[in-house]
Homo-oligomer: A and B are copies of this chain.
Amino acid sequence: MRQVVMHAPGDVRVEDREDPTIIEPTDAIIRLSATCICGSDLWPYRGVEPVDHQVMGHEYVGVVEEIGADVRTVQVGDFVVGSFWASDNTCEICRAGYQAYCTHRVLMGTIGTQSELARIPLADGTLVATPGMPEPDLIPSLMAASDVLGTGWFAAVAAEAGPGKTVAVVGDGAVGLLGILAAQQLGAERIIAFSRHADRQALAREFGATDIVEERGDAGVARVKKLTDGLGAHSVIEAVGTQEAMMQAIHSARPGGHVGFVGVSHDVAIPGDELFMAGVHLHGGPAPVRQYLPELIQLIWDRKIEPGKVFDLTLPLESAAEGYRAMDERTATKVLLTL
């Protein structure tokens, strides 16, 4: 099969690799219909994380081609969506809704899903089948559910977005934009998007943003306070992962408010005294996407949401290198790779 391999920073190739096989009786093999490039794939690409002939990708949708002897809930021929953590969905942590911390979890990035085929461990717990074979135009949205939508959704839930709430969203990348969509679906009354880019502002409004704030840092916080009677937002989504974004999120929330953070933290240190005085609830981390997949797939299937709009560049798998370049140079927000 063909698979994306990063030989070294900046050196992405599509190569012939051996087809995956069933290793554990709980495995399934899927033939991918689409995959994509994640913002986190850019760290090794930029040399921020070490990389040496590494398989890439952790987002996937496709058709089940083979199942292990113990697989019960998905069948050969099913169209399935899974998350970036394979999880058994039965352990105590999974049952509490934290499948990203399943006691038997397997990180899909170590397997690599920017490929024609992929082995999915713990298939019963990990994969969710769609109601039938999806129309082609639904594929990008189902693909988004695999990570960015599920992550934005978790951030909105962690921020306790809901009816009567004012939600502020820090970060206008794919996850932040889908955090807006999630907040809107969860019934938020008002959604304030921090964004400086006209195209992302437009998509933010389409997804449900009612206000746009172009200022950042203290000036951005001051704007949110002004929009909320001096109190701050009830709910804040942090979808960047920098010190400035985290502190902007914490200070944009009112005392007793909720901050949901899903930006992967890089060199962030939260001053204890500022957090103490802020009085907010802070919750985040790798999203338990699996928890939300059945609901998200149904919303997409029923065409009530179209999260696939965050993909602004679609390329064949063979052109993966071009996709990495586009995301690195910021000419694309999120790249879909088709097969």
Contacts and interface: CB of A to CB of B under 8 A. Distances in A.
Contact of A255 (B93, B256, B266, B271): B93
A330 to B, nearest CB: 23
A252 to B, nearest CB: 15
Contacts of A273: 265-266, 268
A276 B261 contact: yes
Interface of A is mostly: mixed
Contacts of A284: 275-276, 279
B98 A256 contact: yes
Interface residues of A, number: 40
A286 interface: yes
A280 interface: yes
B283 A93 contact: no
Interface string A274-316: 0111111111111000000000000000000000000000000
A100 interface: yes
B96 A256 contact: yes
B255 A98 contact: yes
A92 B261 contact: no
Contact of A268 (B96, B246, B264, B272): B272
Interface in A229-278: 229-231, 241, 243, 246, 254-256, 261, 264-273, 275-278
Contact of A285 (B261, B265, B278, B285): B278
Contact of A283 (B96, B265, B267, B281): B281
A102 to B, nearest CB: 9
Interface string A60-96: 0000000000000000000000000000000011001
B265 A276 contact: yes
Nearest to A283: B281
A266 B271 CA distance: 9
